A and B are shown apart, each in its own frame.
Chain A
């Protein structure tokens, strides 16, 4: 049972435009959500997080939106840069410490 879903395996965006990555979850016990970025042969790098008491968190070019009623979150990157090309993982936790990850979305920024 995939509790965290990233339904788009890949996404291509023109440099300078907005990248929007989506994530859905099914477990209503999740109360903390994170986005990680991963380059090949490296471990995931933490990008941004959001608690369930908020609906938006912003850090520079990265903004995460949380819609609890829809059990949906999204990561907006604006403006997109070539260095943003990577695999992005959505993750969630709730009550305990383990993270449940989605299967990832490969973002390609086209120069």
Chain B
């Protein structure tokens, strides 16, 4: 399967714990995006990378959130000191080129903070 891969698919954590998600994009794609989706809403943009450079971050991405894309390949999204409001589906997407291209999504990581 050469699509976007996300791990883990599900994560249950206690409030206050740190969690890290991984995304492996489609290999030739230079752009990688993180989105968050809550029930009844569309995906909301969090941040994106072009190669290894993080080019934009949403105001939704509080100081507890950090994303990296070392060497422009896979990416990680870490949430520190999780809160119940962080419970959501975290989606990763990748695309090739710039402007006006389709982004392809992974299956997402469902985070539940208890």
Chain A residues engaging chain B, CB cutoff 8 angstroms: 4, 31-32, 34, 36, 41-46, 49, 51, 89, 91, 93, 95-104
Contact = CB atoms under 8 A, between A and B. Distances in A.
B85 interface: no
Nearest to A52: B100
Interface in B77-106: 91, 93, 95, 98-100, 102-106
Interface residues of B, number: 30
B107 A42 contact: yes
B48 interface: yes
A28 B6 CA distance: 34
B108 interface: yes
A89 B42 contact: yes
Interface of B: 4, 6, 31, 33, 35, 40-45, 48, 50, 55-56, 58, 91, 93, 95, 98-100, 102-108, 110
B108 A43 contact: yes
A34 B41 contact: no
B107 A97 contact: no
Given A41-B110, A43-B4, A99 B105 contact: no
For B33, B43, B91, which residue has the most chain A Cβ atoms within 10 angstroms? B43
